[in-house]
């Protein structure tokens, strides 16, 4: 994709601070990190998101994500990290190229990711679960 920021980074048209590269996947530090060591992991082949990516590429990409997450944890001496993949504008995706955020977590970093919302009833939760189950591909 000619106008995709990540495709330009992968093609070395835009500089980045790489932490990993192979024939299929590129990983680099986010220029606007949530925390120091925030890494983005992208497949080199353009796809807009998780649902548009070839399943075999997803396997390859996921193995690299795991390897980099382990390296972030060990290399930075953190005891945890958040793994995030935003799918669609409403979910916060700003670059339409599949990518994972690996965000190291530091004690007292002040980040809060979860709300205290609850389902109104067990019936509401069951209705939502059924809608999801009915669309699973097996």
Q: Which of 38, 97, 99, 101 is catalytic?
A: 99
User: Each residue of 20-72: pLDDT tens digit?
Assistant: 999 999 999 999 999 999 999 999 999 999 999 999 999 999 999 999 999 99
What percentage of the chain has pLDDT greater than the value 70?
98
pLDDT for the residue numbered 38: 94
Going from N- to C-terminal start, the domains of the chain cover 5-133
CATH of domain 5-133: 3.30.428.10
pLDDT for the residue numbered 118: 82
Tell me how far CA of residue 31 lies from CA of 14, 46, 63, 106, in angstroms. Answer: 12, 20, 23, 19
Question: Cβ distance 42 to 98 under 8 Å?
Answer: yes
**Reported pTM:** 0.88
97 noted as active-site residue? no
Strand 25-29 and strand 39-43: pairing?
antiparallel
pLDDT for the residue numbered 134: 86
């Amino acid at each position: 994709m000619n106008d995709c920021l990540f495709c330009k980074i992968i093609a070395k048209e835009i500089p980045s601070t790489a932490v990993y590269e192979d024939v299929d996947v590129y990983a680099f530090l986010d220029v606007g990190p949530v925390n120091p060591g925030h890494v983005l992991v992208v497949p080199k082949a353009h796809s807009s998101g998780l649902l548009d990516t070839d399943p075999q590429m997803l396997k390859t990409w996921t193995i690299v994500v795991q390897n980099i997450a382990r390296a972030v944890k060990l290399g930075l001496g953190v005891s945890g990290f958040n793994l995030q993949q935003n799918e669609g504008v409403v979910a916060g995706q700003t670059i339409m190229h599949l990518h994972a955020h690996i965000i190291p977590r530091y004690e007292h970093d002040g980040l809060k990711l979860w709300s205290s919302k609850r389902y109104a009833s067990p019936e509401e939760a069951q209705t939502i679960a059924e809608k999801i189950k009915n669309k699973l591909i097996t």
